[in-house]
Structure 1
Amino acid sequence: MLQNYLKIAIRNLWKHKLFSFINVFGLASGLTVCLLAIAHIKGTFDYDNFHPNRARIYRILTDVVYKDNNRVAFATSPMPLGIALKRDYDFVEATSRIVRTYGEFSGNHKRFSDILSFAVDPDFFTIFNYQLAEGRPATEPGTAVVTRKTAERFFGTANPVGQVVEQEGIGPLTITGVLADTPANSHLKFDLLFSLATSGKTMLPGVFQDWKQYQNGYTYVLLKPGIAADQLRNVLPALTKRATDKLSFRQEKSYSLRVQALTQLSPSREELMHSTYEKQVGGLLVEMGVGLITLLMAAFNYINLTLARSLSRAREVGIRKVAGAVRWQVVGQFMAESVVLSLLALGLSVLMLELVKPMAFVQQWLIGGVTWDWPLWTAFVLFSIVAGLLAGVVPARVLSGFEPAQVLRSQTGLRIIRGLSLRKSLIVIQFTISMICMISLLTMTRQQQYMATGDYGFRRERVLTLPLNDVPPQRLANELNRLAGVERVAATSELFGSFGDTQMIKRQRSGQDSSMAFSWSINDQFVPTMGLTLLAGQNVPVATADTSGRLVLINEEAVKAFRLGSPQQAVGQSLWLNDSTEVSIAGVLKDFRFTTFAWSIKPLVLRSQPSQFRYLTVSVAAGSEDAVLADVKRIWKQLAPYEPFMGWWYDDFLRQRHSHAEDIEFMGLLIALAFSIACLGLLGMVTYNTQTRVKEVGVRKVMGAEVRQIVWLLSRDFVKLLLIAATIAMPLGYLAGYAFLINFAYHVAIGAETLGLCVGVLLVLGVLTIGIRTYRAALANPADSLRAE
């Protein structure tokens, strides 16, 4: 019987090629998005599966109860915990503390501020199975291991073992090994690991013996074979009570410790403060939801087209029932057709998957590190079969319910509300979803374009930025100042448009009015180079050493935050930086946007500290850009012959930082698929509608109707559906776009240009789809359709 179902299903699909293509392409598009989500979800369950002892590894979490009874869970734990567990309990085989460190790394005359580094105990390399491609682990003080990529950034193709790198505040680190590439994803991501003993005296002094400090690092425990997690879980309350019994907390009422198995760490089922790099269940559900919505739109096409052909299929059902078929057999026939369609769509979706795999967004966020093994492919096949069965449920139940005696006069026309048919409702839903997605994407694109090209309040055109690494800033500045076309050369610690550094600032050293402010180090040429406006006071003076950085510039927001009166009144007043450094305000700058557009303008302090300079910014005269760039490269080659030239224009830096082209490209692909599915479904409906009215069209033409009148007759109902979809989608799309924009302090508006463009695209695509098909039907020769009458 199953063989008979499949044979008839294939014949029916081949007989109606257009409808079959529409259904297969639509289902394949939806399946492609779902398969990406399934692969990503499967990958999150594979996190850390390359550790042979993963079933015995646990992370200790901290549940904190604050004095307002608010409970917060932290992925971190007190630093003395690991030592206490290993010392006092014989069922613990090994423990390791992992502390995230921050600061710029330097080595081989290069500096990098984006190195992801952790300080770890020696047992880290016993607990976890991070293999070394060469060398030995960093178990001794002053040693480190790096990833292969990081080694190449610092030392190129030279052997990094034995080389020295240094992090601010930590000291020199000798590289003892190079980490091999991990075979799968891990919740821990790092570029460099160094011995925790290195930082015990210099980094976070006192933290490693303080049970009150629970936010600075992670504690991992490896239990001995055969030991249950409950044994570790049972000792934590008593251990916590002994350690914290005589401690007094400022904000916390108490905290407790609990055990989290490494095998249960990803995907994360709860929100943890200071979490690592495991995926969140909520994000995975959103991804799967997007895929299911796309697949649902394709299923709408199948339901629409199958029900549209209900009259011809009803005769088939009647004949089958007269011949003795019962309802479940008829249902089986239609379900078989749906499954065959879904399996054909699976084959096409695999090809589409191969096309989108190389996309940067897909590799970085979805399938990077995923193992494409037989369980994953089995899940793909099962998912496609289930999708086919679900898509076929409604048509199968409806069509199998026809009574043979009523088949010839059956015009059942399924109704939902006040004459609005199910098929028309599904078309409206499809285009409504597509338009909501389009409004959201256009809003995101406009916001990112606004951030990439907007007015930050400082000069961004014709400004060249040069990372210094170990090139002497003053020597390079002297060479650049001699070039024709160079207007000014300034030095800075960070680039505006990045997040920058923050400090706690007070008006009085012993006062309680502390506030967070952003801090940059600049020289005396920076303000005129970047086109900043000085409202009061004077610029920072020429400085050759950090001791001259007692005079600072602040912005208007800092004047308000520290209640300094007017800009003129603020000049000459004092501030305290980090409770240790007193500075005097030399001048006040007009507010400008120096960080991301997600934040409103914050207090800013600019001071002259030559030791902190990491970039030179060069303002260039109009028309001299190419010549200056060539000369700068030549000078760079002379001063740093072994360093690649890393300079770029400020405008390009801001564009690259905020454009997120890969994300927009992938989202655009999803929306293109959604509109393709909707338009193909509309094409199928229009095609079937014109086929069923071919004799009516012939009679009207014989009676003198014009082509334009017939086109409007055939298409007006569908145009009304598009207008209904647009009417529903506009307010919903506005809300979706606004939900994205509220995350930014400065953002674009969702106005008539956004909504109008989306409605225009919707109508153009829909009208073209409808018009082309109805125009062809209106041009048909009435003699061909009426000769059988």
Structure 2
Amino acid sequence: MLRNYLTITLRNLWKHKLFSAINIFGLASGMMVCLLAIIHIKGAFDYDNFHPNRHRVYRVLTDVATNEHGVVAHASSPMPLAGALQQDYAFVEQTARVVRVYGEFAEGHKRFNLLSWAVDPGFFTIFSGFQLAQGQAAAEPRTVVLTRETAEKFFGTANPIGRVLQHDELGPLTVTGVLADNPTHSHLKFDLLLSLKTPGNPAYRHLFEDWRQYAVGYTYVMLKPGTMEKALSDALSAINKQTIQGLQFTREKGYSFRTQALTNVSPGLEELAMSTYERQIGGLLVEIGVGLLTLLLAAFNYINLTLARSLSRAREVGIRKVSGALRWQLMGQFMAESVVLSLLALGLAYVMLQFVKPMPFVQQWLIGGVQWDETLWIVFILFSIVTGVLAGIVPARVLSGFQPAQVLRSQTGLRVLRGISLRKSLIVAQFAISMIALIFLLTMGRQQHYMATADYGFRRESVLNIPLNGIPYQRLTHELSQLSGVERVSATSDLFGSFGDSQVFRRQRATSDSMMAFTFAVDHQFVPNMNLSLLAGQNMPVPAADTAGRFVLINEEAVNAFHLGSAREAVGQSLWLNDSTELQIAGVLKDFRFTSFAWSIKPLVLRYQPAQFRYLNVGVAKGAGEAVLADAKAVLKKLTPYEPFTGQWYDDFLYQRHNHREDLDFLSLLTGLALSIACLGLLGMVTYTTETRTKEVGIRKVMGADITQIVALLSWDFVKLLLIASAIALPLGALAGMAFLINFAYHVSIGIETLGVCFLVMLLLGGLTIGWRTYRAASANPVKSLRAE
């Protein structure tokens, strides 16, 4: 029987080649998106599976009870906890604390801001999957281990063991080892691991002894073999009762501890404050939702086209029922056809996946680092079979349920609410979903283009940004200032358009009126070079004395935030930094956008700090860009002969930072697939309709109707469907676009330039699909049409 089902299925697929091709391509497109989501989800469950002791490792979470009668779960925990567990409980084999370290690491003239953690020696026992390719672990004070990529950044192909890195706060750090590449992802991402025994800033050492500080770092515990998790939970409850008594909390009522197995860290089933880099279940559900939505469109096509051919298949059903076939046998036949079609689509989906895999977005966010094994293939095949069953069950039930007497008289109309056919409803749904996706994509693209090209309020044209990379800024400034075509050279700690640094300032030294402000280190040439406007006061003084660093420039928003009165009244007043440094306001700048468009303008403080300078901004005269770029390369080649030139025009920096082509390319792919599925489904419906009306077309032509009238007659029903889909999609698409734009303080609007373009694109694609097929039918020879049955 199965062989008979397969034979009939292949004959039907070959007989109706166009419908088969449309269904296979549509299902393959939806499956390809689902396969990407399945691979990513598998990768999320594979996190940290390369650690041999992972089933005995737990992270301690802290549930903090707030004064507002709520509970906030933290992935972090107090730092004394690890010592208490290790010392007082024999079933604990090893503990380790993990603390984030900030700041730049330098070696010679190379400086990098790395993702780094300070860890206890027990870290390398608990997470033994982080294997060393060479050297030994960072167990002693002032030692570090590097990843392979970090070692190459600093030392190239030279042996890094024994070399020294410099950190502004921690001092010299000796490299003792290089880590091998991880086979899969980990919830702990890093470029560098250093020993937690390394002496740090004394001002922060009390944080490692204070039980009230639960947001400093993370605590990991490895239990001895055979120990149950409940033993650790009981120990945490006992420690909590002992330590929380007598503690004075200011912003919370207290806290409690609980365990989280390492095998349950990813995907994260709850939102944790101070979370690490594990995948969250919410994001995975969104991804699989997008994939299933795309697949649903393809399933609509299959249902649509199968029901569209219900007349011919219904007669087949009637004849087979008269011959003695049972309903379950007919359903088996139709389900077999659907499953075979789905398996063929799986093959095409895998081929399409090979073309999509190299895309940067796909590699970085979806499938990079995921191990392919037989489990993945089994999931793919099972998913394909389930897809075929679900897509075929509706047509199978409908077609197998026809009564022989009814279908042999061709009374097979399918109707849903108010006479709208099911097939037409599906077409409306397809185009509505595709149009919503198109509106969302266009909105995202316009917002990114706006952020990349907008007027920030500072000079962005004809400015060449050159990283110092350890070169004394005065020397490089002098060399570049001599070049023909250079107007000014200024220095800065970071580039506007990025996030910069932030610090806490106070109006008075002993008061609690603190305010966070963004800070940039700049020199006296920066304001005129970047065309910033002074509203009051004067520019930063020329650094002729050590007191130059006491004078700062602030923006209008800082004047308002610190309640300094007017811009003129603010000049000459003082701000306190870290309760120890008094800064005097030299001038007030007109507000401009210096950071992300997601935020409104924030308080800004510009200060002269030569040690913080990282870039030079070279202002170039109009028309001299190419010459200055060539000369600047020559200067850098002379000063750093073994380093590549990394200068970049400010325009290019802002464009690349805010115009994420990889994201748009991937979203364009998804939208293109949805549109193509919808258009192919429409093409199949129009083809079937024109074929069933072949005789009518021939009679109308014989009676004198011209091609235009016939095209209009055949097309109008489908054009109405496009108009209905647009009426549904336009408001929903606008809502989806606004849901994205609400994340930005400064954003584009959604008007005729977005909705009108999407409407015209949808109408054009649908119109071409309809017009091409109806024109072929209308221009056919009426003699052949009248002969057609």
| Band the TM-score falls in, shorter-chain normalisation | over 0.9
Alignment of structure 1 residues 44-443 onto 2, 5 Å: 44-113=44-113, 115-128=114-127, 129-200=129-200, 202=202, 204-443=204-443
Give the 3-state SS of the residue equivalent to 1:549 in structure 2.
Answer: helix
State the SS of the aligned residue for 2:552: strand
Equivalent residue, structure 1, for 2:513:
513
Normalising by structure 2, we get a TM-score of: 0.99
Deviations 1:286-326 (A, max 9, x none): 00000000000000001111101111001100111011111
Q: What SS does the corresponding residue of 2:518 show, helix, strand or coil?
A: strand
**What is the deviation of 1:201?**
5.2
- Given that 1:135 and 1:161 are in contact with CA atoms closer than 8 Å, whether structure 2 keeps it comes out as yes
Runs of 4+ that moved beyond 3 A: 199-203, 544-547
Residue pair 2:169, 2:200 contacting (<8 A) in 1 also: no
In structure 2, relative to structure 1, the CA distance for the partners of 1:468 and 1:300 (3 Å cut) is same
What is the match of residue 476 of structure 2? 476
Q: Distance in 2 between matches of 1:649 and 1:173?
A: 35
Alignment partners' CA distance in 1, 2:47 and 2:635: 47
CA distance in 2, matches of 1:263, 1:123: 19
Aligned equivalents of 1:342, 1:470: Cα separation in 2: 60
Contact 1:545 1:609 in 2 (8 A): no
Per-residue CA deviation, residues 488-545 of structure 1 (Å, 9 max, x unaligned), is 0001111101111111111111223211111111000000111100011000112267
Counterparts of 2:504 and 2:117, CA distance in 1: 25
1:410 deviates by 3.1
Q: Specify whether residues 525 and 29 from structure 1 end up closer, same or farther in structure 2 by C-alpha distance, changes over 3 A only.
A: same
Q: How many residues align?
A: 788
Give the Cα–Cα distance (whole angstroms) in 2 for the partners of residues 200 and 237 of structure 1: 31
Q: Separation in 1 of the partners of 2:284 and 2:374?
A: 22
**Using a 3 Å threshold, how does the CA distance of structure 1 residues 110 and 788 change in structure 2: closer, same or farther?**
closer
Alpha-carbon separation, structure 1, partners of 2:412 and 2:515: 72
Code of the residue aligned with 1:124 in structure 2: it is F
Contact 2:124-2:130 at 8 Å conserved across structures:
yes
How far did 1:202 drift? 4.6
SS at match of 1:712: helix
SS of residue paired to 2:416:
strand
Change (3 A) 1:547 1:88: farther
Are the counterparts in 1 of residues 488 and 618 from structure 2 also a CA contact under 8 Å? Answer: yes
1:180-205 superposed Cα distances (whole Å, 9 cap, x missing partner) = 00001111100000000114555722
Query: Are 1:497 and 2:531 matched, yes or no?
Result: no
3-state SS, counterpart of residue 408 of structure 2: helix
- Determine helix, strand or coil for the equivalent of 1:536: strand
The alignment status of 1:579 with 2:586, answered yes or no, reads: no
Query: Is contact 1:143-1:195 (8 Å) kept?
Result: yes
Aligned mates of 1:541, 1:564 — CA distance in 2: 22
Is the contact made by 2:170 and 2:200 (CA closer than 8 Å) also made in structure 1? no
Q: Distance in 1 between matches of 2:330 and 2:354?
A: 37
Between 1:401-410 and 1:732-741, the stretch displaced more is 401-410
1:537-576 → structure 2 map (5 Å cutoff): 537-543=537-543, 547-576=547-576
- Tell me the residue number matched to 1:633: 633
Opposite residue 144 of structure 1, the aligned amino acid is: V
Alignment root-mean-square deviation, CA: 1.1
TM-superposed deviation, 1:159:
1.1
- CA-to-aligned-CA distance 1:702-738 (integer Å, 9 cap, x gap): 0000000000111100001001111110000000000
1:357-407, Cα deviation, whole Å (9 max, x unpaired): 010000000001111100011000000100000000110011011111111
Cα pair distance change 1:201/1:516, threshold 3 Å = closer
* 2:654 alignment partner, SS class: helix
Please state if 1:736 is matched with 2:764: no
In 2: Cα distance, 1:603 partner to 1:687 partner: 63
- Matched residue type, 2:182: T
Partners of 1:37 and 1:294 in 2: how far apart? 12
Shift in Å, 1:413: 2.1
Render the CA deviation track for 1:86-135: whole Å, top value 9, x for unaligned. Answer: 1111101110000011111111321112x100000001111102011111
Q: Where does residue 600 of structure 1 map in the other structure? A: 600
- Contact preservation (8 Å) 2:105, 2:112: yes
2:669 is matched with which residue? 669
- Tell me if structure 1 keeps the 8 A contact 2:318–2:404: yes
Distance in 2 (CA, whole Å) between partners of 1:150 and 1:719 is 59
CA gap of 1:422–1:545, structure 2 versus 1, over 3 A, is farther
Q: SS of the residue aligned with 1:710? A: helix
Name stretches of at least 5 consecutive residues in structure 1 with no aligned partner.
Answer: none
How far apart in 2 are the matches of 1:263 and 1:546? Answer: 56
Distance 2:264 2:563 in 1: 50
Letter in 1 for 2:117: F
CA distance in 2, matches of 1:695, 1:467: 75
Work out the CA distance in 2 between the residues paired with 1:167 and 1:89: 37
**Equivalent AA in structure 1 for residue 340 of structure 2:** V
Displacement of 1:673 in angstroms is 0.4
- TM-score, normalization: structure 1? 0.99
**1:546 to 1:522, Cα distance in 2 relative to 1, 3 A:** farther
